[in-house]
Amino acid sequence: LTQPFWIKELYGAYGVHVVVFGALSQLNVADTKSSVSRDIEVGLAIARIETRLVDASTGNTIRTYSGRNPLYKSKEIGEFSQERAILRAIDVGLEEIAPAVLDSLGFFDWSARVIRIEPDRVYIDAGQQSGLRAGDILDVYGPGEEIVNPITQISIGWAPGTLKGRIRVTGFFGIDGAYATPLEGDAFRPQDLVKVSQDQQE
């Protein structure tokens, strides 16, 4: 699932916007004895964590981050001190980069997809867990198309299709789905793109 093709499949099939990859790129471990008693083991470790954020709609890496723990924060004493020091070092390394990763998620444009149409209802693949609330106004666009740089052949992103109309969120279903009532327009189709209305954002 690390290849751009499969990442873009996640966007098309499941509406995934961002994929975060993480790896342990460096691990140094030290095992010594306590200054208090030679019978007490002391474990120390340094772990470097590398992460990258991938735009699922294009398969392109947008951000990369690296975090490493200070040696003293991994110190563990006693039985299995080395193993516990490694786990502690990884935890601290993750804590170092977590705020930056979370902040970066705000740069990604939110959208959802129409998944089903009924005479008085439009079902979409995002709900309360995605941040929607009853009464939210959403703009519905055609599926749009992917814009690729003709020279580099690298995907730049997806241009939304024509604005088809607006819908109002009226209820929720399943783990993270919503249904809405049409306000304007009626030519909605499955796979149409849904975004928060510009009027509501203002």
Please tell me the predicted confidence (pLDDT) of residue 2. 76
CA distances, 159 to each of 42, 130, 144 (Å):
56, 22, 5
Instruction: Note down the domain range covering 59.
Output: 4-105
Q: Are residues 92 and 12 in the same domain?
A: yes
Please tell me the predicted confidence (pLDDT) of residue 32. 75
- pTM for the whole structure: 0.76
Average pLDDT over residues 136-157: 91
Q: Rounded CA gap, 126 and 140, in Å?
A: 14
Higher model confidence: residue 77 or residue 47? Answer: 47
Q: Are residues 159 and 82 in the same domain?
A: no
Task: State yes or no: pLDDT of 202 exceeds 70.
Answer: no
Per-residue pLDDT tens digits for 16-67: 889 999 999 999 998 776 565 666 788 899 999 999 999 998 999 999 999 9
Q: Are residues 146 and 171 in the same domain?
A: yes
Q: Rounded CA gap, 156 and 62, in Å?
A: 11
Q: Are residues 84 and 138 in the same domain?
A: no
Q: Are residues 130 and 60 in the same domain?
A: no
Q: How is residue 197 written in tokens?
A: 């209305």
Q: Identify the weakest region by mean pLDDT among 11-15, 145-149, 167-171.
A: 11-15
